[in-house]
Amino acid sequence: MKVKFTETVLRDAGQSLIATRLPYSKFEPILETMDKIGYYSLECWGGATFDTCLRFLDEDPWQRLRDIRKHVKNTKLQMLLRGQNVLGYKHYPDDVVRKFVELSVKNGIDVIRIFDALNDLRNLEVSVTETVKHGGIAQVAISYTTSPVHTLENYVQLIKNIEEMGATSLCIKDMAGVMSPKECYDLVKAIKENSKLPLHLHTHSTTGLSFMTYLKGIEAGADCIDTAVSCMSGGTSQPATETLVYALGQMGYDTEVNYPVLKEINDFFRPIQEEYVKNGMLDPKVMMTEADALNYQIPGGMLSNLISQLKQLNAMDKFAEVLKETPKVREELGYPPLVTPTSQMVGVQAANNILAGERYKNVTKEVTAYLRGEYGTPPGKVSEELIKKVLGEEKLYTGRFADTLAPGFEKGKAEIGAKAKTDEDVLSYIIFPQVYEKFFDEREERKRKRVKYSIEQV
Ligand code: CO
């Protein structure tokens, strides 16, 4: 019996614990050791890393990827892609999605894990086809959630459609850490009975279920689990790699992981973790168990966003009411899984409903677009009363939203002009226009300063 491991310390663990603020220079020295472990893959790119590199770390994300690839020659490199949203927050035209996938593979990515917040497969098709075309592994993740419309039968049908679409492997993505051991066992078993594709599990330790959930998932036949090196594990991050390698090894599973070398990796990251605790980037609170999330059914990240939003508005006294309002909004929107961007959408709307003193008096532009059908088809039925209130007699959109978008790559290239040196730069610009321009201008400014400095030195 084999169980493979995906190490998340370079992406999701860092994103969940320290808001993705780990610069490349900090982890470069450990990359070659990590390459010797025997992981199935290193999750190291995509998700929020791209945005953060440009916005806060003053790093070219593409350069980061090439640098990682230089040091990691044997282990697969993995990224997280939001389907038609690429790494941004809206839908992009197909030519932009294709180019992004092509260049991700060309710059060193092996596995592209692709998901859509609504599990609307029309938002995944282009990235899946393009990944396979360029020799990458297209791993399609279903956004896991529970609701009256998220039945085993519906999930199995979804999986069958994903397989038909040409995915290389599957993943159950439990972004909130709310999947219980029993739910995981039943779902993995049902998927395994209906699909031959390798199945990966992704969860977070937020609610404390994660180790049990993985164990039951593995017993039901899951092939690979996502874990984080122990000092960067737990809480809103993944469960610990060493712990699972130890326990599963004892139970007779072949994990293919070099256990003694794992300690070297943890010894390397420990002082970094301590540094982030000291500088306040790592709030010890996020490493604690939040079983409350099981009652609210709200992901930990969304909960902390809600709190900071209410604090800014000086409205923390409304917190309990907003918490109660959130599941109502979610139900009226047809039970979307709560993951970027739907988690923000539902949270902000719930807060608006309470703070305005009248439900749906202030409707955000995102919720309006969602109701129109621009994000795709919601899993359940959307409240007709709500549609009427917000959209009146406006006709709903039932097609694939990206079909309405004009090609964007050449247009972006023309717009940014000489400020983009490569096609990779053009994509950075298209996805984060202002952030990229600021990054570019500052980089040029620094170059000028360096030149001046060295002239003065002479
Ligand atoms: Co995650």
Beta strand pairing call for 224-227 and 4-7: parallel
12 Cα to the center of ligand 1, angstroms: 6
Reported for 103-107, long-range contacts at CB under 8 A and 24+ positions apart, including other chains, are: 103/62, 103/423, 103/424, 103/427, 104/45, 104/46, 104/65, 104/79, 104/136, 105/131, 105/134, 105/135, 105/136, 106/134, 107/62, 107/65, 107/66, 107/69, 107/424
11 Cα to the center of ligand 1, angstroms: 9
* Cβ neighbourhood burial of 71 (10 Å; 0-12, 13-18, 19+): middle
H/E stretch holding 224 reads strand 224-227
24 Cα to the center of ligand 1, angstroms: 20
15 Cα to the center of ligand 1, angstroms: 8
Q: In this structure, what DSSP letter does residue 393 have?
A: T
Q: Tell me: the pLDDT tens digits for 73-107?
A: 999 999 999 999 999 888 999 999 999 999 999 99
- CA dist 288 and 241 (Å) reads 18
> Is residue 256 helix, strand or coil?
coil
What mean pLDDT is reported for the chain? 94
Q: Tell me: the pLDDT tens digits for 167-225?
A: 999 999 999 899 999 999 999 999 999 999 999 999 999 999 999 999 999 999 999 99
348 Cα to the center of ligand 1, angstroms: 21
Q: Find out whether 263 and 176 touch, Cβ atoms under 8 Å.
A: no
445 Cα to the center of ligand 1, angstroms: 36
Q: Tell me: the pLDDT tens digits for 293-324?
A: 887 777 766 777 788 889 899 999 999 999 99
Residue with tokens 């006709």: 395
Q: If pLDDT is split at 50, 70 and 90, which confidence band does 57 have?
A: very high
393 Cα to the center of ligand 1, angstroms: 39
* Cβ neighbourhood burial of 235 (10 Å; 0-12, 13-18, 19+): buried
Task: Please tell me the total number of residues recorded for the chain in this structure.
Answer: 458
174 Cα to the center of ligand 1, angstroms: 7
Q: Tell me: the pLDDT tens digits for 255-302?
A: 999 999 999 999 999 999 999 999 999 988 889 998 888 877 777 667
16 Cα to the center of ligand 1, angstroms: 8
Q: Find out whether 103 and 69 touch, Cβ atoms under 8 Å.
A: no
Residue 43, strand partner residues: 78
Print burial letters for 116-134: b (CB count within 10 Å at least 16), e (below 16): bbbbbbbbbbbbbbbbbeb
Beta strand pairing call for 4-7 and 41-46: parallel
Helices (H), 134-178: 152-165
